[in-house]
Amino acid sequence: MEYQVLGSGVEDWETLILLYNSALKEIGTKVDILNDEFQHIHQYNPIEHTKMRVKTSESIVRKLRKKGYEATIPNMQKYVSDIAGVRIICSFTSDIYRIADMIRNQSDLKILEIRDYIKTPKESGYKSYHMIVTVPIFLSDSVYDTKVEIQIRTVAMDFWASLEHKMNYKFESNVPEHIKKELYDCAKMVSDLDERMLKLNEEILKSAEAEK
């Protein structure tokens, strides 16, 4: 069986989308199993829910052109790392790093890139933990390492990011300054909320442990 890195050998759109959809299924199964195991051991689910999507062809082409590349299948594979995306939503910031460690320990996944926008937020105030990984997809006569972007964030971070996305789409990145400032202030409020909720949860756990 031939083993290939995605980007060498895939020449048609249908096969490309098959691989990315298959990669999402693989990652989704892994996340479900990890969550079930964590529940079994600790009686606690760190993952609230997950979202998965494959970018539309229009979105991929737009991203390539923005980067200055021609819209070809090889360029899609080489220069767009988030064609397949998984978003993992959890309750507390501590869960984010716990989940990231569990994913990192999966031996068949290769970590290509990590961007920690929690420790170092974007200028807009955006916070999230990003991982670019590859997962092997076994077809009938070959194996392809297929890229997936994994985003891990709290419920509050996801709510804020959803609003920012809608705002940028609405204004096509030409956002009025007063709205930018208001959204940035909201990002600080989200960070404060996450921190307070984490401390509150830790207090609850300590109290419950002391009563045993």
Read off the pLDDT of residues 49-92 as tens digits, 9 standing for 90 and up: 999 999 999 999 999 999 999 999 989 989 999 999 999 999 99
57, 13 in Cβ contact below 8 A? yes
Average pLDDT score over residue span 120-141: 94
Q: In the chain, what are the domain boundaries?
A: 2-156
- Tell me how far apart the alpha carbons of residues 98 and 206 are, in angstroms, rounded to a whole number: 19
Active site residues: 149
What would the CATH number be for the domain defined by 2-156? 3.30.460.10
Side chain identity at 71, as an amino acid letter? A
Residue 9 pLDDT? 58
Q: Scanning the structure block, which residue is given the tokens 């200055």?
A: 68
Residue 45 pLDDT? 87
Q: For the whole model, what pTM was predicted?
A: 0.89
Q: CA–CA distance from 36 to each of 29, 47, 160 (Å)?
A: 11, 10, 28
Calculate the dihedral angle through the C-alpha atoms of 52, 109, 121, 193, rounding to the nearest 10 degrees.
60
